[in-house]
Chains A and B, each alone.
Chain A
């Protein structure tokens, strides 16, 4: 009998060991995965009470945690307000996080593995957890200029430093005040959230990266790049440019914006076609090159890939897959199913500005511990050589001509040579067209590339043109960067 009891004693110990082993697996090895779950309220509560690190522009915080004296201990405040909201995002107890607050959460609250050593010191010395700081690449003057430029409009601005890919400005309007969502008054936060989501102008959306638009004529830069890269064209090559181009397989012709031919002749050089943003000329070039060549060129500028990892829900710009001939002609002028974010069109300009090399855009300059030791510093990274330096130089000359003599005149800056391209994208009769301007300056040594999109400016339909609406904003932003 005793031997059976002894065996049961062993069995009982095995049962208890199984419990301990299972809990060890759960609490020691799976804990991180479970703590990272979105629906984990405990982690949310305690993270909300952490002394979170600031988000900085230079050394000025645009978001920081201040002692609150209530049950959450700290109140997140956004000095950057609406101006920086599309980038900083928000941190709400009820509705989670957005923007940098979301993507850099681990660094900001100090739980990132890179800060593990400091956290252990905190635990040992019984100090509360403190988060690291995140410094952004944004240029305060450029960001303010971009935000001010969009006043009263619906649209977005992105400015990039062409040589590095540093994002100097990223504005989107209408914006929102993140302080409303970070409040500890849950009732107020709830109604603010409801209003923001109900707003048909989508203030919570960062139009610079989260929304896709037909790029219109700014896409002609990609078509021109493909043409010049093919070796079959030079800026002086003459192409067919009638007022109306009949398209195969359809009765709907391709027409020029003003209903006239380009520069007074039915054939124009590529330079002149770009100067007057000639639809029929680029339609002809697009059909001659074929959809594959256009698609390939677009991909080299960043289409078809997520351009930025430092913000959530960044949209991927697209060139339509397998269009037929008339669709290819439409695509070549940025219509049909071509879709791009303002960030993507800024990357096109930046790539041309940087001798054809497209740099990976980034927003986070560095991450530092609370005692200001650098944890990580972002290094510029090349994405693609979109065009050769020669082609880039030819495109630059053509874009300078657009600003000096063509549709881009409103983008000119005194004493600085600007290279640019306008765009006006029609979508449907019942909504205003999208106005675009993408440019860089100075043309001979580019310091800034910018893309401006105006979705809705509350003005009469026929007044909308990339040149008149978007170019002045781009000008202000470039001036802000160059003025320093």
Chain B
């Protein structure tokens, strides 16, 4: 009997919600600590808004946590604390830039702009609301499969929305924003989610066809020519984004996503080769043909040539941060253009140094790897593909924006997930985390439906055994 009971206990997964709560407390403590630290170094006092900030972040995290306990008890315990930490630190840094810009404005005798941090907290609340909607409404991610083509259509629509005259606006050379009711949105952030759902649904159906043996060439199974249609369409659409919206980052993101999912669903490296070649070809074509792409590349090769260029200022900030950083509130991140949005990673690198930057990158890595772990554990192909797609979209996005800011690759206009100032991106990322948690709940949940572990359930299980 005793032997049987041990083996039974082992196969019942633990919910790990307690671990999540502990990690959440740490994440909130770090964020609030950063916020207070900034106040003390910049204003010589614990900021009056600390209570508002701490209660806001804490309450939102707690609500998300309770929703998981209620509706997704087996969900991954690391994802939510990671997202809360990045979101919290992001708001703290946006607040820090607010203070820095206010000091600069004061020195010039101008009226400082309205602070951006409260706005970002509001958007965090909207993000958590969407998080709750996803967790509470989508009880099973497989239901999304029915929406495959709807998602594809909506995704495409969102993608071309900024091209509609009167709605889309040009910002910083890219046409990826729309202006509605006095507010700016980046529909591409939601298009990303829709397209992942579409790609996953489409590939679940078509993977067998695409997997059919084609030609074997240089040790690689290459697909048949007539199966090249979908990849061609994805390539054309992403190139369209590049040409008409001048957005290098989104273009790379969409095409990369499609390619990764194609690869995972067919397990054929040949697709990656073809896709890679198509990407290189498209990128080269764009570089030769379009002024804005060309300029991004020359700016990247010699960032020092542009006076007041954001990359140049950002690189100077990062160098100034050095290994240990200037300390929160003790650098001059506000000296960089877009210090709280595009360049926020540079602001962290300046004040927290290489050490802090690597810590942040490790948190991103954790989210990515937990997402892929979810994909591995998921029992259905559709869920696997969605989890892979969402996790890899995160990986690509972090790589493209952080790589651009740190001078590894040309800078393109993608948002730094959870950290950068901007409502659309933040809300979309909360939806992504919610979807991943939803899938991970399904993946980690015991196969026979079971209530969360309690002594009673164990006793019941033992009796069954």
Contact = CB atoms under 8 A, between A and B. Distances in A.
Contact of A12 (B318, B332, B354, B372): B372
B316 A27 contact: no
Contacts of A16: 361-362, 364-365, 368, 395, 398-399
Given A8-B392, A9-B372, A1 B265 contact: yes
B388 A5 contact: yes
Contacts of A28: 322-323, 354
Contact of B335 (A2, A33, A41): A41
A42 B331 contact: yes
B91 to A, nearest CB: 23
A12 B381 contact: no
B221 interface: no
Interface string A32-48: 01110101111101100
Binding site secondary structure of chain B: helix
Interface stretch (A17-25, A327-335, A382-390): A17-25
A6 interface: yes
Interface in B294-349: 304, 307, 315-323, 326, 331-332, 335, 349
A117 B140 CA distance: 61
Nearest to B399: A15
Contacts of B399: 15-16, 18-19
B349 A27 contact: yes
A35 to B, nearest CB: 6
B464 to A, nearest CB: 30
Contact of B388 (A8, A15, A22, A27): A8
A459 interface: no
A18 B408 contact: yes
Given A23-B318, A34-B315, A43-B320, A12 B267 contact: no
Contacts of A41: 316, 332, 335
Nearest to A32: B319
A31 interface: yes
Contacts of A8: 260, 263-264, 372, 388, 392
A100 B301 CA distance: 35
Contacts of A1: 264-265, 267, 381, 384
B452 interface: no
Binding site secondary structure of chain A: helix
A22 B408 contact: yes
Nearest to A22: B408
A388 B267 CA distance: 87
B407 interface: yes
Contacts of A305: none
Contact of B316 (A15, A24, A37): A37
Contact of B361 (A20, A27, A46): A20
A306 interface: no
A362 B395 CA distance: 58
Contact of A19 (B317, B376, B396, B402): B402
A231 B302 CA distance: 59
Nearest to A16: B365
A42 B330 CA distance: 11
Contact of B320 (A5, A12, A20, A42): A42
A30 interface: yes
Interface string A431-472: 000000000000000000000000000000000000000000
A193 to B, nearest CB: 19
A151 interface: no
B407 A26 contact: yes
Contacts of A43: 316, 320
B446 to A, nearest CB: 20
Contacts of A30: 319
A27 B318 contact: yes
Contact of B349 (A12, A23, A46): A23
Contacts of B365: 12-13, 16
A46 to B, nearest CB: 8
A2 B375 CA distance: 8
B423 interface: no
A98 B399 CA distance: 43
Interface residues of B, number: 50
B369 A13 contact: yes
Contacts of B323: 27-28
A19 B322 contact: no
Contacts of A6: 372, 376
B406 A19 contact: yes
Interface in B234-286: 260, 263-265, 267
B366 to A, nearest CB: 10
Contacts of B395: 12, 15-16
A198 interface: no
Contact of B354 (A15, A23, A33): A23
B335 A42 contact: yes
B320 A35 contact: yes
A24 B358 CA distance: 9
A125 interface: no
Contacts of A428: none
Contacts of B307: 39
B357 interface: yes
A6 B388 CA distance: 10
B56 interface: no
A26 B384 CA distance: 37
Contacts of B315: 26, 34
A5 B369 CA distance: 10
Contacts of A484: none
A26 B406 contact: yes
Contacts of B260: 8
A3 interface: yes
A6 B377 CA distance: 11
Given A8-B264, A12-B365, A15-B395, A26 B318 contact: yes
B353 interface: yes
B118 interface: no
Nearest to A27: B354
A19 B361 contact: yes
B391 interface: yes
Contacts of A19: 361, 398-399, 402-403, 406, 408
Contacts of A45: 332
A158 to B, nearest CB: 38
B392 A12 contact: yes
Contacts of A372: none
A45 B334 CA distance: 13
Q: Max chain B CB contacts within 10 Å: which of A4, A5, A26, A42?
A: A5
A334 B401 CA distance: 64
Interface string B355-399: 001100110110011001101100001001000100110011011
Contacts of B408: 18-19, 22
Interface string A203-234: 00000000000000000000000000000000
A186 to B, nearest CB: 9
A31 B320 contact: yes
Interface string B144-166: 00000000000000000000000
A40 B381 CA distance: 53
A27 B335 contact: no
A343 to B, nearest CB: 35
Given A23-B357, A28-B354, A42-B332, 4 more contacts: A4-B267, A8-B264, A15-B399, A35-B319
Interface of B: 260, 263-265, 267, 304, 307, 315-323, 326, 331-332, 335, 349-350, 353-354, 357-358, 361-362, 364-365, 368-369, 372-373, 375-376, 381, 384, 388, 391-392, 395-396, 398-399, 402-403, 406-408
17 contacts: A4-B264, A6-B372, A12-B365, A12-B368, A12-B369, A12-B391, A16-B399, A19-B398, A23-B406, A26-B406, A27-B318, A27-B354, A34-B320, A35-B319, A42-B316, A43-B320, A46-B320
Interface of A: 1-6, 8-9, 12-13, 15-16, 18-20, 22-24, 26-28, 30-31, 33-35, 37, 39-43, 45-46
Closest 7 CB pairs of A and B: A34-B319, A12-B395, A27-B354, A31-B319, A22-B408, A15-B399, A9-B372
